[in-house]
Amino acid sequence: MRPGGRVTSTPALVVVTGQSYLLLGLYPGLTLYGTVGRAYGIEYTVDVTAPTNWLPLATVTLTNSPWLWFDTQATNASQRFYRAVEK
């Protein structure tokens, strides 16, 4: 190829073989679909069989929907379940 020029060739077929895969992006947090401007409380528990054990983590006011909220405190937690409640 010459500098500043171009090369034209016949069409090529590219075949990718092998197993298919699935990529999951898991994160500790929630995706909130709610009313913009409304406040929601984020709570967590480690045991969903005890409904009175929900503990507060944060309060967010949605500036857009959906809103991604990440639990930055979950780094040492073995498991957490989350919920959002309207304030």
pLDDT digits (tens, 9 = 90+) for 27-78: 888 999 999 999 999 999 988 887 778 999 999 999 999 999 999 888 777 8
Q: Which of 17-21, 55-59, 77-81 has the lowest mean pLDDT?
A: 17-21
Count structural domains, the chain: 1
pLDDT band at 3 (very low <50, low <70, confident <90, very high): low
Please give the average per-residue pLDDT across 16-27, as a whole number. Answer: 69
User: Does residue 56 lie in a domain region?
Assistant: yes
Q: Quick one: CA dihedral 17, 19, 24, 25, positive or negative?
A: negative
**pLDDT at residue 1, as a whole number:** 47
User: Does residue 51 lie in a domain region?
Assistant: yes
Please give the single-letter amino acid code of residue 11.
P
42 vs 20 pLDDT, higher one: 42
User: Does residue 21 lie in a domain region?
Assistant: no
Question: Which residues fall within 8 angstroms of residue 59, CB to CB, at 6 or more apart?
Answer: 39, 40, 41, 42, 87
Task: Answer left, alpha or beta for residue 78, where phi above 0 means left and psi between -120 and 50 means alpha.
Answer: alpha
Question: Which residues fall within 8 angstroms of residue 65, CB to CB, at 6 or more apart?
Answer: 32, 33, 34, 35, 36
Residue 29 token pair: 């947090």
List the domain range (segments joined by +) for residue 52. Answer: 29-86
Place of tokens 């947090």: 29
User: Does residue 3 lie in a domain region?
Assistant: no
pLDDT band at 84 (very low <50, low <70, confident <90, very high): very high
